[in-house]
Amino acid sequence: MKIYTKKGDHGETSLLGGKRVLKSSLQVECYGTVDEANSCLGMARGLIKNQAMKESILAIQKKLQILSAELASTPEGIKKLKTKVEKNDISLLEKEIDQLTEGRPKLSSFVLPGGTGGSGALDLARAIVRRAERLVVRLNEEQGVREEIISYLNRLSDLLFVFARAEADQELVQLVKDKVLEKLNISLKNSLNLDLARKLVAHAQGKAKELNIPVVIVIVDNACNLILLERQDEALLASIDIAWKKAYTAGSVRMPTHTLGELAQPGRPLYGIEMTNSGKVVIFGGGYPLIKNQKLWGAIGVSGGTVEQDMEIASAAVSLFEKWNP
């Protein structure tokens, strides 16, 4: 099917209903501007990061197509439309505005548009919707337009303003997080998740069962924050603290705790390190960093058996991690 028909080469177009009008007519300007706003929303949807907002914008785009079809129709054509923008659609916009503004401080001054790519596109879409609203008000003076259309455009511009502020705020928060993590040499993209942590613990528990040793197993992320702690039946309560400290130590110094222990002996370069970090550093075996592609993903600590047994159990989990493909 050809895209071009050549029927509009003389500056006219057809409304839904068959009537031919000039492309410069106010009615064409109205639905053309709504189409412009819809296209801008499509760009915004591709730029923003918030998935819930993406889904809302997609639903709005579909409603704008319905609204545009009504604006592009003759009275006879409107009667044939299966769906129209109704009061319930306006209520949905108002509900979303209320949810996004709840708890936010009131604006005390004008807000400059933009700030991020996503918020800038949303602000541009808002300005186009405002223009569409003004044009539709003029059209209403000439030939009458349903009140719901004007109200929907009005409320939509309000929602897009709120969307733009929420997107800018979220982008700013994420930027600060990224900068802090970069400063700390930490990347959330290279950190263990709970699912993988459970698999590592299960593998270690299998080795502990084989050795008939009840232990505590701790997994931390690449910032040494706790992800998972499992205490087997009959494991000593004291092992909870020790296992966590082993994992913390291995992750924070990025070496096995038994290796650190060798370096912490009298006369060695790290002698006395166990007295630092508020006593959280452990210098005997059972803690291992989980490193892949020269990047720290987390660490594991095991306590409950002898040092050698703890090391053997933890090593089983490390072996599984080394086979894992991120």
Which CATH number is 204's domain given?
3.30.450.150
Examine the domain organization and report whether 82 and 163 are in the same domain.
yes
Here the tokens at position 253 are 């110094």
Confidence of residue 2 (pLDDT cuts 50, 70, 90): confident
- Please state whether 37 falls in left (phi above 0), alpha (psi between -120 and 50) or beta: alpha
* CA 62 – CA 68 distance, rounded (Å): 10
* Within a domain: 1: no
Q: Domain with 128 in it: what CATH number? A: 1.20.1200.10
* Residue 16: burial class (beta carbons within 10 Å; 0-12, 13-18, 19+): middle
Residue 2 lies in a domain: no
pTM of the complete model beyond 0.75: no
pLDDT tens-digit series, residues 136-159: 999 999 999 999 999 999 999 999
Q: What is the mean pLDDT of the chain?
A: 90
Parallel, antiparallel, or unpaired for β 216-221 and 295-303? antiparallel
pLDDT at 181: 60
More confident residue, 34 or 192: 34
For residue 203, tell me if it sits in a domain. Answer: yes
Q: Please state the domain count of the chain.
A: 2
Task: Band the pLDDT of 177: cuts 50, 70, 90.
Answer: low
- Kindly state whether residue 256 falls inside one of the protein's structural domains: yes
Structure tokens at 63: 């409603």
pLDDT mean over 158-163: 94
Binned at pLDDT 50, 70 and 90, residue 301 comes out as: very high
Place of tokens 């994992």: 247
Burial class (CB in 10 A: 0-12, 13-18, 19+), 263: middle
Domain co-membership, 228 together with 290: yes
Query: Higher-confidence residue: 163 or 4?
Result: 163
Q: For position 127, what pLDDT does the model report?
A: 96
pLDDT value of position 84: 95
pLDDT, residue 107, reads 66
**H or E segment at 134?**
helix 117-143
Residues 123 and 197 grouped into a single domain: no
Q: Which residues constitute the domain of residue 256?
A: 189-323
Q: Which of 143, 158, 183 is the last residue in one of the domains?
A: 183
Residues 6+ apart with CB under 8 A from 248: 220, 224, 280, 281, 282, 287, 299, 301
Does one domain contain both 228 and 315? Answer: yes
111 lies in the same domain as 215 = no
pLDDT digits (tens, 9 = 90+) for 66-82: 999 999 999 999 999 99
- Do 173 and 202 reside in the same domain of the chain? no
165 CB neighbour count, 10 Å cutoff: 19
Q: Is residue 153 in a domain?
A: yes
Q: Measuring CA to CA, how many Å separate 148 from each of 24, 96, 321?
A: 25, 18, 59
Higher pLDDT, 12 or 32: 32
Residues 159, 288: one domain?
no
Which pLDDT score, from 0 to 100, does residue 29 have? 96
Q: Within a 10 A sphere around the Cβ of 212, how many other Cβ atoms? A: 8
Q: Is residue 4 part of a domain?
A: no
- Whether 86 is in a domain gets the answer yes
145 and 270 in a single domain? The answer is no
Single out the residue in 133, 152, 183 at which a domain terminates. Answer: 183
Given this model, what pLDDT does residue 263 score? 92
Least confident among 111-125, 135-149, 218-232? 111-125
Task: Of 130, 119, 131, 137, give the one whose Cα is nearest residue 156.
Answer: 130
**Structural domain contains residue 6:** no
38 and 177 inside one domain: yes
Q: Is there a single domain that holds both residue 111 and residue 210?
A: no
Last residue of a domain, one of 156, 183, 210: 183
| Helix 147-183 with 51-71: angle, nearest 10 deg | 160
Structure tokens at 12: 């006219």
Q: Which of 123-132, 266-275, 292-301 is predicted most confidently?
A: 123-132
* 250 in the same domain as 151: no
Is residue 256 domain-shared with residue 231, that is, in the same domain? yes
